[in-house]
Amino acid sequence: MRQVPVRRSPSSPADHRKEGHGRAANAARFGENGRVPHPIRFGYKVSAEQFGPRDLLDFSVAAERHGFDTAGISDHFQPWRHSGGHAPFSLSWLGAAGQATTRIRLGTSVLTPTFRYHPAVVAQAMGTLGCLFPGRIWLGVGTGESLNEAPLGIKWPDSKERFARLKEAVSLIQTLWTAERVSFDGAFYRTVNATIYDRPETPIPIYIAASGPAAARLAGRVADGLICTSGKGMALYAESLLPAVHEGARAAGRDPAELDLAIEMKVSYDTDLDRAREDTKHWAALALSAEEKTGVDDPIEMERLADALTAERAASRWIVSADPDDHVERIRPYLELGFRHLIFHAPGPDQHRFLDLYSRDVLPRLQRITA
Q: Which residues are catalytic?
A: 76, 145
How many whole angstroms separate alpha carbon 140 and alpha carbon 113?
10
Burial grade of 131 (CB within 10 A; 0-12, 13-18, 19 or more): middle
- Looking at the chain, list the stretches that DSSP marks H as alpha helix, in order from N- to C-terminal side: 19-30, 53-65, 90-100, 119-132, 146-149, 159-178, 213-222, 234-235, 242-251, 273-279, 290-293, 299-307, 311-314, 324-337, 351-357, 363-369
How many whole angstroms separate alpha carbon 195 and alpha carbon 155?
30
Closest-CA residue to 191 (of 176, 170, 177): 176
How many whole angstroms separate alpha carbon 338 and alpha carbon 344?
16
Q: Is 257 helix (H, G, I), strand (E, B) or coil?
A: helix
Q: Is 335 helix (H, G, I), strand (E, B) or coil?
A: helix
- Give the DSSP letter of residue 1: -
How many whole angstroms separate alpha carbon 20 and alpha carbon 239?
9
Q: What is the pairing mode between strands 225-229 and 319-321?
A: unpaired
